[in-house]
C-alpha cells in the first residue's frame, strides 16, 4: 500500500511540477571592444563605448556577460577560452566584436590591437577567424549561436597589401546560427565621428522592443541603419535558426503596431565561388553536443606516428629566396621590434612578433631563433610552439616540428592552426594517413581553411584517392588562387 501511494505521489508531482530547467535556458555572451590600435592614426571612438552599452543591455536580458576592452591576441584567445569553458549543451552563445576586421581567403578575421600585419598571410597568423570561433562554439554543444560584428571599417592594414579595403566576407556558419555585420560583405562604413556607432545605436533600440524574435530584431536594426544613413550603410544578416529565440526572455513573437515593417527575408550568405566540374565542399555538419558540464571537452586522441616513419627529409629551402639580411634589418617593423629587444632582451612579445615577421618574409631560420627565445621564457606559449612547428616543417626539420605541434595540441586541444601545421609535417614526412587525419580535424572546425583543404587533397592523391584529392585541390584553388604558390614555398609540390 505504501509503495503504491509513493508511486501515485511521484506521478502526481510530475504532472503538477514543471520539469527542471535545462541548460537550454543558459545565456552566455562575450563582448569585445578594441579601439587602441597602434597602427591607426588615432584611437577609434566607438568600440569601447559600444561594447559597454551592449554588455549592459545583454545583462538586463539575462545573459552572463564577459567584456574585454583593447585586447591583444593573447587576451582575445584567453577570453574566448574562458567563454568556451562556460558553454553547456543547449546554451545560447553570443559574440559581439567591435574593432577592425579583415577578410582573407573568403574568411572574416577579428583583429586584436597588437596585430603585426604586413602581408595577407599575417592576417591568418594574427587575426581570429570568425568561422573558427563559431565552429568551436558549436563543438561545445551550444544551441542558438549569435555573432554581432561591427568591424567593417577602413583599417590601416589592408592598404599594406591591397589597393582597396574589402570589408568582411560572408560567413559559413553551423546550423542554428544568426550572424549580423554592421555593413554588407566587401564594403566598409564611413566614420560618423560620434561616440557610438550607428549600428549599435539602432541595435540597442530594437533589442529593447518587447515581443520580437531575434531575426525580427536584427531585420528592424538593418532597416533603421539603412534609413539613418541614407542607404549608405546596410547591415548584412545570415540566419540558419531552426527555433524561436528572443533577446528579451518570454517574447511571443507578436509585432507591436508602431514597429517599422521588417524586411521580408533574411539575406542568405552568398555561396562560395563555383569550381569547374567540382561542387564546393559542404560545410562540416554541426557536431552533436559532447559536453556534460561547463568544462572543455576532452582532447582528441593525438595523431599516431607511423611505427616505421619515413626518414626525415634533408633540410629544404623554400622556393622563394629570403630577403637579404640587410634588407630585413631595414624593415621598419623589424627595426622597431629589434630596438625593443635591445632595450629588453626578454621581451617575449617582441621576440614572438619579430619571429612572425621573419617567417612572413621567408627568413625561417631567423624566425625559429626568435621562437626559440620566446619559448625559453615561456615554454607553454602555444602560439610560439605552433609557429615554430610550421617554420621547422618548411625548412625540413620534421621530427622537431612534430614534437612542437604535439605539445601545442596537448596544451590547447583542437587548436586548429596546430592541426593544420601538424598536417603539413605529416605530409612532408610521407605519413599521408596521419596528414589526412589532421587536415580532417582542422576542416571540421573551420571548413574553409584552404591550407588544410589543399594539403588534404595532396595527401589523398599520394594515398591513392586521386579523384577525391583532385576535388579538394580544385576547391582550395578556387577559394585561394595563391595556395599552390604558398605550398611551393613550403617545399610541397
Residue ranges of domains in the chain: 23-239, 325-489
Asked whether the beta carbons of 293 and 88 are under 8 A apart, the reply is: yes
**Ranges 260-264, 343-347, 427-431, most confident:** 427-431
User: What values do phi and psi take at 148, rounded to 5?
Assistant: -115, 110
Percent of the chain with pLDDT over 90: 51
Confidence of residue 447 (pLDDT cuts 50, 70, 90): confident
Contacts 24+ apart (CB under 8 A), 480-488: 480/105, 480/106, 480/450, 480/454, 483/450, 483/451, 483/454, 484/454, 486/121, 486/451, 487/451, 487/454, 487/455, 487/458, 488/319
Q: pTM of the predicted model, to two decimals?
A: 0.54
Asked whether the beta carbons of 127 and 115 are under 8 A apart, the reply is: yes
- pLDDT averaged over every residue in the chain: 80
Chain mean position to CA 164: 23
Cα separation, 156 vs 426, whole angstroms: 37
- Residue by residue, what is the 3-state secondary structure of the chain? CHHHHHHHHHHHHHHHCCCCCCHHHCEEEEEEECCCCCCCCCCCCHHHHHHHHHHHHHHHCCCEEEEEECCCHHHHHHHHHHHHHHCCCCCEEEEEEECCEEEECCEEEECCCCCCCCCHHHHHHHCEEHHHHHHHHHHCCCCCEEEEEECCECCCCHHHCCCCCCCCCCCCCCCCEEEEECCCCCCCECCCCCCCCHHHHHHHHHHCCCCCCHHHHHHHHHHHHHHHCCCCCCCEEEECCCCCCCCCCCCCCCCCCCCCCCCCCCCCCCCCCCECCECCCCCCCCCCCCCCCCCCCCCCCCCCCCCCCCCCCCCCCCCCCCCCHHHHHHCHHHHHHHHHHHHCCCCHHHHHHHHHHHHHCCCHHHHHHHHHHHHHHCCCCHHHHHHHHHHHHHHCCHHHHHHHHHHHHHHCCCCHHHHHHHHHHHHHHCCHHHHHHHHHHHHHHCCCCHHHHHHHHHHHHHCCCHHHHHHHHHHHHHHCCCHHHHHHHCCCC
pLDDT of residue 340: 87
Confidence of residue 94 (pLDDT cuts 50, 70, 90): very high
Q: Over 70: is that where the pLDDT of 325 sits?
A: no
pLDDT tens for 126-164 read 999 999 999 999 999 999 999 999 999 888 887 666 545
Cα separation, 218 vs 239, whole angstroms: 10
pLDDT of residue 362: 83
CATH of domain 23-239: 3.40.50.1460
Architecture of the structural domain at 325-489: Alpha Horseshoe (1.25)
Higher pLDDT pick, 319 / 465: 465
**Average pLDDT estimate for 339-348:** 90
Q: Over 50: is that where the pLDDT of 285 sits?
A: no
pLDDT of residue 355: 87
**Average pLDDT estimate for 91-111:** 93
Amino acid at each position: 500500500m505504501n509503495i503504491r501511494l509513493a508511486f501515485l505521489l511521484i506521478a502526481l508531482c510530475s504532472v503538477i511540477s514543471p520539469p527542471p530547467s535545462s541548460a537550454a535556458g543558459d545565456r552566455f555572451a562575450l563582448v569585445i571592444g578594441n579601439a587602441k590600435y597602434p597602427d591607426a592614426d588615432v584611437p577609434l571612438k566607438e568600440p569601447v563605448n559600444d561594447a559597454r552599452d551592449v554588455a549592459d543591455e545583454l545583462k538586463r536580458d539575462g545573459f552572463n556577460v564577459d567584456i574585454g576592452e583593447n585586447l591583444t591576441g593573447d587576451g582575445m584567445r584567453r577570453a574566448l577560452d574562458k567563454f568556451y569553458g562556460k558553454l553547456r549543451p543547449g546554451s545560447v552563445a553570443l559574440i559581439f566584436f567591435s574593432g577592425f576586421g579583415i577578410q582573407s581567403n573568403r574568411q572574416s578575421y577579428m583583429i586584436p590591437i597588437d596585430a603585426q600585419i604586413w602581408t595577407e598571410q599575417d592576417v591568418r597568423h594574427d587575426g581570429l577567424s570568425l568561422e573558427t570561433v563559431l565552429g568551436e562554439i558549436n563543438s561545445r554543444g551550444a544551441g542558438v549561436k549569435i555573432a554581432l560584428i561591427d568591424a567593417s571599417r577602413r583599417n590601416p592594414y589592408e592598404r599594406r597589401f591591397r589597393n582597396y579595403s574589402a570589408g568582411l566576407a560572408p560567413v559559413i556558419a553551423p546550423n542554428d546560427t544568426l550572424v549580423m555585420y554592421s555593413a554588407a560583405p566587401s564594403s566598409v562604413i564611413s566614420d560618423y565621428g560620434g561616440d557610438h556607432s550607428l549600428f549599435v545605436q539602432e541595435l540597442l533600440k530594437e533589442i529593447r522592443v518587447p515581443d520580437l524574435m531575434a531575426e525580427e530584431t536584427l531585420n528592424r536594426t538593418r532597416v533603421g541603419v539603412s534609413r539613418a544613413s541614407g542607404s549608405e550603410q546596410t547591415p548584412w544578416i545570415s540566419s540558419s535558426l531552426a527555433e524561436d529565440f528572443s533577446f528579451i526572455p518570454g517574447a511571443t513573437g507578436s509585432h507591436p503596431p508602431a514597429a517599422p515593417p521588417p524586411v521580408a527575408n533574411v539575406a542568405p550568405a552568398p555561396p562560395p565561388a563555383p569550381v569547374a566540374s567540382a561542387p564546393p565542399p559542404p560545410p562540416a555538419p554541426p557536431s552533436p553536443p559532447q559536453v556534460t558540464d561547463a568544462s572543455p571537452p576532452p582532447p582528441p586522441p593525438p595523431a599516431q606516428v607511423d611505427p616505421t616513419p619515413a626518414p626525415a627529409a634533408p633540410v629544404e629551402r623554400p622556393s622563394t629566396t629570403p630577403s637579404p639580411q640587410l634588407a630585413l634589418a631595414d624593415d621598419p617593423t623589424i627595426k622597431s621590434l629589434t630596438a625593443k629587444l635591445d632595450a629588453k632582451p626578454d621581451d617575449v612579445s617582441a621576440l614572438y612578433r619579430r619571429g612572425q615577421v621573419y617567417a612572413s618574409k621567408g627568413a625561417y631560420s631567423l624566425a625559429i631563433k626568435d621562437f626559440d627565445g620566446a619559448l625559453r621564457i615561456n615554454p607553454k606559449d602555444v602560439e610560439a610552439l605552433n609557429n615554430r612547428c610550421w617554420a621547422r616543417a618548411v625548412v625540413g626539420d620534421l621530427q622537431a616540428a612534430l614534437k612542437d605541434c604535439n605539445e601545442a595540441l596537448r596544451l590547447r586541444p583542437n587548436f586548429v592552426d596546430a592541426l593544420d601545421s601538424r598536417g603539413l609535417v605529416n605530409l612532408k614526412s610521407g605519413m599521408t594517413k596521419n596528414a589526412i587525419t589532421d587536415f580532417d580535424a582542422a576542416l571540421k572546425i573551420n571548413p574553409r581553411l584552404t591550407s588544410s583543404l589543399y594539403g588534404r587533397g595532396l595527401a589523398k592523391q599520394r594515398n591513392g584517392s586521386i579523384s577525391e584529392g583532385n576535388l579538394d585541390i580544385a576547391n582550395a584553388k578556387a577559394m585561394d588562387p595563391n595556395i599552390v604558390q604558398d605550398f611551393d614555398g613550403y617545399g610541397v609540390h
